[in-house]
Amino acid sequence: MYHCHDTYSFLSILYVSYQEITGSVLAEDDDNFQGLKVLSDARHCWRKNAYYSDVVFLGHITHRAIHHELVTKEDEPISQNHEIIGTERFYEWADAKGLSIHLHGHDRNGSVNKIVKDRQYTDNGNDTWHATKNLARSFVKVAKGKPVNRGVTWHPELSDKGAGIKTHYYWAMKTCDGDPDLLRFRLDNIVRHYQNDHRNCFAGNVRHPGARCKTDPNYEPTRTTIRDPVAAQLLTRWIQKSTIYEWPLDYVNVSKFLISHR
C-alpha cells in the first residue's frame, strides 16, 4: 500500500539544500538571464482532506526539485488551501535567496494565479494538461447525440473531429507568441481549417514549422469537411466556451515551457 511517508522519503531524495543546488539553479537561467522557470504542484497525501500536503517546485530545464514545502493542518486547517501557503513560502524563500522567478507554471489554482500575477517580475502560466484533459469528453456533446437533437445540439460533420481538437489547442498555444488575441485567433481558426479554408493556418516561423495544410501542396483533408453553417456555429460556440479561450492570458506562456505537443 502507498503511504504518505513514502512521499516524504522520496522527496528527501529529490530535495537538496540551496548550497547543493547552486549549479542546477544557475543552469535553469534562460539565455537572456531573465530568471528561473518553475513548475509547481501540490500533493495531498492519499486523499484531498489530508493532514499533510507537499508543495513541490521543479526547475523547468532539469525537472529537478529546487524547493519543497510541507504544509500541515496545523498551518492551515483546510487542505485545499495548502498549495497557497506553500506557494507563499516558496516566494519568501526565493526572495531571501535573491532568486528571480521569471515564469511559474501550475495547475490553475485561482489563488496561486493571483499570487503570481501580483509579483511584478514573474509571468504566470497555467498547466495545459489540466486545461485540455477533458476536451475530448466535452466535445462528444457536439459530435453525437439523439436524432431529435441533430443540428441543434450536435452535428454529424463534427463526429470525427474529437481526436484532433486537442492537437489544435496545443499548437495554438505553442505558436501564439505570448499574445492572448493571437491565441484566440488561432482557436477560432480551427473552424476555418475544418472548412478546408487554410488561408489563416500557421505558415511557420524560425521556431516552428508551418502546418502541413499550409506548406504541403498535395495536402488533402483527412476528416470530413464542415459544409453546414450549423456545424460551424456549434463548433465555434464550443471553442469559445472552453477555459483556454475564456482565459487566454493564463495560457500564452506555453511556448516558454517548450511543450512539445503538436
Per-residue pLDDT tens for 190-245?
999 999 999 999 998 888 899 999 999 999 999 999 999 999 999 999 999 999 99
Domain borders along the chain are 4-126, 130-257
pLDDT at 130: 75
Q: CATH classification of 4-126 is 3.90.550, yes or no? A: no
pLDDT at 46: 55
Q: Characterize 62-101 residue by residue with b for buried, 16 or more Cβ atoms within 10 angstroms of its Cβ, and e for exposed.
A: eebbbbbbbbeeeebeebebbbbbbbbbbbeebeeeebeb
CB 201 within 8 A of CB 189: yes
Low-confidence ranges of the chain (pLDDT < 50): 1-3, 5, 7-19, 22, 258-262
pLDDT at 107: 84
pLDDT at 79: 85
Q: What is the mean pLDDT of the chain?
A: 84
In this structure, the number of other CB atoms found within 10 A of the CB of residue 195 comes to 17
